Amino acid sequence: MGIVLFFGILSLSVFYIFNLMAKPFDSRNAEEIIFMPAEKSGKAIRIKERQSIDGILDTFNKGKRMKKNKAHERSQPDYHGDIKMSDTHHVPFTVWLEKDQAVILQNDDDTYFHLNQRDKADLIKKMQKGT
């Protein structure tokens, strides 16, 4: 009985750790990324090049998870985005660009990710390059 319980707890622990290590933004099936400025006058940024998509999603995945109580202290977002996986599957996200950081919300999971200043600059550069 004890051995079964031990292996049950061990397998749950391994699954939990594996789940935490998984990348929240999967680039394997991504076909296109669209950044739509929150301001109506702004122009949408569409990125279809595979290398640019992988680079942006790798930058997204560098983000550290944030506690929701800190994440909700945000002003109006800078971009609303969409990762097109197929014609029927899209992953929506929201981006806030601040002075020394960027915050990304994965809307499906309601999970916030914090990018430091260097990663924020890298994200902006990749967005501009991808257009």
> Which tens digits make up the pLDDT trace of 69-122?
666 667 888 999 999 988 888 999 999 998 888 888 888 778 888 999 999 999
Domain assignment of residue 72, yes or no? yes
Domain assignment of residue 17, yes or no? no
Q: What is the CATH number of the domain that holds 110?
A: 2.60.40
Domain assignment of residue 9, yes or no? no
Domain assignment of residue 54, yes or no? yes
Q: Is the pLDDT of residue 12 over 90?
A: no
Show Cβ contacts of residue 111 under 8 Å, excluding neighbours closer than 6 positions. Answer: 24, 65, 105
Domain of 35 in residue numbering reads as 25-130
3-state helix, strand, coil in the chain (%, to 5): 40, 25, 35
Domain assignment of residue 85, yes or no? yes
Say which residue, 93 or 65, is predicted with more confidence.
Answer: 93
Domain assignment of residue 78, yes or no? yes
The half-sphere exposure of 93 on its side-chain side, counting CA atoms within 13 A, is: 25
What pLDDT was estimated at residue 123?
92
Q: Kindly indicate the confidence band of residue 24, based on its pLDDT and cuts at 50, 70 and 90.
A: confident
Q: What is the pTM of this model?
A: 0.76
103 contacts 40 by C-beta, under 8 angstroms? no
The overall average pLDDT reported for the chain is 84
Residue 31: C-alpha distances to residues 107, 114, 127 (Å): 19, 24, 15
How many domains is the chain built from? Answer: 1
Domain assignment of residue 50, yes or no? yes
Domain assignment of residue 73, yes or no? yes
What pLDDT was estimated at residue 33?
93
Instruction: Tell the residue number behind the tokens 């929201």, with chain if given.
Output: 94
What pLDDT was estimated at residue 94?
92
- The amino acid occupying position 62 is K
DSSP 3-state of 51: helix
